[in-house]
Amino acid sequence: MLNIIKVKGEQLFNETGAGIIASLLQSNPRAVLGLATGSTPVGVYQKLIELYREGVVSFKQASSYNLDEYIGLSADHPQSYRKFMNEKLFNHIDIPLENTHVPSGTTAVPEEAAAEYNRLLGAVGQIDLQLLGLGHNGHIGFNEPGEELQGPTHIVELDERTRQANARFFRSIDEVPTHAITMGIGSILQAKQILLMAKGEDKAEIVARALKGPITTKCPASFLQTHPNVVVVLDQAAGGLV
């Protein structure tokens, strides 16, 4: 079931996302969080840091599992998702770093890193809340559109459009990795609750396809329609067509 919340302005967008995560932690301090990268959650993480500093929320007993990582980027590479998470959130809150998990992008055999992450996720049982952004082509995590989708964590070849979209964070497109490791659609849909967030007019069309269009592997996010508990937070521009 999709519960769509449209909000006005960046501040309310971030507050709404952070508020959902904070209230989960207040009722369940040991919550298992599924976290995402990309530009969409950055303001949400800033708000969570503020709430932590104000004493409203603590992450001391929480744990986290990130969706994805680039293949070939080490944890300390400026564009690695591990570095992103440390800088945008983990270094500023009280979550023990050993409770935070990001798939490894530098395991010699990437498929082994995927198998290891699946073992980890299997041991957790269920993620309490999975935060998601949305790619312009309908990807979630790095599950790219195609003829078929994979359930568990796996290695993907990145769509050219995805590489172009993410090139803004690198010196040139040649530096953008060609492959990534990502939680699969199956792992994502296993979460108790999903929080999908999108902002900006450039996301309006894909938001409509994901939420109201046919459920198809051509738009991986459309599978969210099959989940019993999805909260969608949109700003007015991204929500313009739904």
Q: Which of 139, 143, 154, 235 is catalytic?
A: 139
Report the distance separating Cα 174 and Cα 150, nearest Å: 27
Q: Is 144 a known active-site residue? A: yes
| Alpha helices in the chain, H assignment, sequence order | 10-27, 42-53, 81-88, 110-124, 160-166, 185-189, 204-212
Q: Which of 100, 166, 187, 222 binds ligand GLP (CB under 6 A)?
A: 166
How buried is residue 151: exposed, middle or buried, by Cβ count under 10 Å (0-12/13-18/19+)? Answer: middle
In whole angstroms, the minimum distance from the beta carbon of 87 to ligand GLP comes to 15
Q: Per CB under 6 A, does 153 bind ligand GLP?
A: no
Q: Is 154 a known active-site residue? A: no
Q: Which is nearer to ligand GLP, 94 or 202 (CB)?
A: 202
Q: How many residues bind ligand GLP (CB under 6 A)?
A: 14
Segment 44-73, which members bind ligand GLP (CB under 6 A)?
A: 67-68
Distance of CA 211 to the CA centre of its chain: 17
- From the CA atom positions of the chain, what is the Rg in Å? 17
| Strand, helix or coil for residue 169 | helix
Structure tokens at 37: 């990268």
Report the distance separating Cα 56 and Cα 69, nearest Å: 30
Q: Which is nearer to ligand GLP, 162 or 187 (CB)?
A: 162
- Maximal C-alpha separation, the chain: 47
Q: Per CB under 6 A, does 183 bind ligand GLP?
A: no
CA neighbor of 191 nearest in space, from 128, 123, 140, 124: 128
Q: Which is nearer to ligand GLP, 95 or 183 (CB)?
A: 183
Q: Which stretch binds ligand GLP (CB under 6 A): 36-44, 83-91, 146-154, 227-235?
A: 36-44
Q: Which of 14, 144, 154, 166 is catalytic?
A: 144
In whole angstroms, the minimum distance from the beta carbon of 14 to ligand GLP comes to 13
| Strand, helix or coil for residue 156 | strand
Q: Is 139 a known active-site residue? A: yes
Q: Per CB under 6 A, does 142 bind ligand GLP?
A: yes
Q: Which of 17, 133, 177, 239 binds ligand GLP (CB under 6 A)?
A: 133
In whole angstroms, the minimum distance from the beta carbon of 141 to ligand GLP comes to 5
Amino acid of residue 213: G
Q: Is 137 a known active-site residue? A: yes
Report the distance separating Cα 142 and Cα 6, nearest Å: 25
Catalog residues that contact ligand GLP under the rule CB under 6 A: 36-40, 67-68, 133-135, 141-142, 162, 166
**Catalytic positions:** 68, 137, 139, 144
